Amino acid sequence: GAGVSQSPSNKVTEKGKDVELRCDPISGHTALYWYRQSLGQGLEFLIYFQGNSAPDKSGLPSDRFSAERTGGSVSTLTIQRTQQEDSAVYLCASSFGQGIYEQYFGPGTRLTVT
Amino acid sequence: AQTVTQSQPEMSVQEAETVTLSCTYDTSENNYYLFWYKQPPSRQMILVIRQEAYKQQNATENRFSVNFQKAAKSFSLKISDSQLGDTAMYFCAFIFNSGGSNYKLTFGKGTLLTVNP
C-alpha cells in the first residue's frame, strides 16, 4: 500500500516568510510524528499526535512552530517568520501505536531559508 | 534523559565483505527498544532491525544482525556480504517501552557507510 507522503519535496523560502509542510500518514495509523534533521543537531523529535489525544508539542523549538492534524489523518507543520536556522529536512512518520510499533517515515521536506 | 552515541561518522567496506557499525546508549531505564534505521540518498528512513531490551537473543534480519550487550549498553550492527545498495546513512535509535515517552525516538548522529565495488 501507499507509504507516508510529504509535500513539497523541497521548499526554498525567504527569511521572514511563513511555510506550511504537509504529511499524509499511512491509512489506519493513529500515531503521527514530526522530526527535524539538521546538520548541527542530527534528528530531533518535534511533535507527536495520537488519535484524539492532546499532542505532545514538547519538541517544538519555538512558538514560531505549530502543527495540527485534521480528522486524525493529514498533518500540517507551520513555521512562521522563518529564520535561516530553520533550514533542515523535516521528516514525518506514522505508526499503528507506540513503543515497539515501527515508525514509517516519509521522504521528508527539505526546507531552505535564504 | 537518554543519549545515543555513534562514534564512527564514516565507514567504508568492500562489496561482499562484512562491516560492523557501533552504537552505545545511556539510560537508567530497563524497559526499552533499540533500532537501526537506514537512510539512503533518497532520504527515506527505513527500519533495518529492532531489538527488545528484555530479549537476550540478538536480532537478525537476513544479512543484518546485532550484537546487543545490555550491561555495556552497546548495540552494534553487523552487515554481512555487503552490497552496493547498502550505501547509506545508518542511525541507531532508542525508544522507551513504557511511561509517558514511549513514542519519541532518540537518534544517534549517524554513520555514513559507503560500499565500494
Angle ∠(B63,A107,A61) on CA atoms, nearest 5: 115
Beta bridge mates, A65: A79
Pick the more confident residue, B14 or A53. B14
Domains of chain A, with CATH numbers?
Answer: 5-98 (2.60.40.10)
User: Measured between CB atoms, does A35 come within 8 Å of chain B?
Assistant: yes
User: Measured between CB atoms, does B58 come within 8 Å of chain A?
Assistant: no
Eight-class DSSP state of B9: S
Q: Could you tell me which of B66, B15, B100 has the C-alpha nearest to residue A58?
A: B100
Q: Across the interface, do B43 and A108 touch by the CB < 8 Å criterion?
A: yes
Which chain A residue has the Cα nearest residue B34? A100
Q: Per-residue confidence at A100, pLDDT binned at 50, 70, 90?
A: confident
Angle ∠(B38,B43,B46) on CA atoms, nearest 5: 30
Mean pLDDT of A62-67: 96
C-alpha dihedral sign at A104, A107, B50, A60: negative
User: Measured between CB atoms, does B90 come within 8 Å of chain A?
Assistant: no
Q: Across the interface, do A100 and B50 touch by the CB < 8 Å criterion?
A: yes
In this prediction, residue A1 carries a pLDDT of 57
Q: Residues B45-90: pLDDT tens digits?
A: 999 999 999 998 999 999 999 999 999 999 999 999 999 999 999 9
User: Measured between CB atoms, does B106 come within 8 Å of chain A?
Assistant: yes
Mean pLDDT of B12-24: 98
Which of A45, A59, A99 has its CB closest to that of B102?
A: A99
Q: Residues A2-61: pLDDT tens digits?
A: 899 999 999 999 999 999 999 999 999 999 999 999 987 789 999 999 888 888 999 999
pLDDT over 70, % of chain B: 97
**Which CATH superfamily includes the segment(s) B3-116?**
Immunoglobulins (2.60.40.10)
Radius of gyration of chain B (CA): 14
Q: Could you tell me which of A26, A105, A112 has the C-alpha nearest to residue B39?
A: A105
Radius of gyration of chain A (CA): 13
Top residue of B3, B6, B35, B43 to mutate, by most chain A CBs within 10 Å, is B43
CA distance A112 to chain B (A): 16
Burial B34-71 (b: 16+ CB within 10 A, else e): bbbbbbeeebbbeebbbbbbeeeeebeeeebbbebeee
Which of A71-80, B10-19, B92-101 has the highest average model confidence (pLDDT)? B10-19
User: Measured between CB atoms, does A47 come within 8 Å of chain B?
Assistant: no
User: Which three cell numbers mark A31?
Assistant: 500515531
In this prediction, residue A71 carries a pLDDT of 81
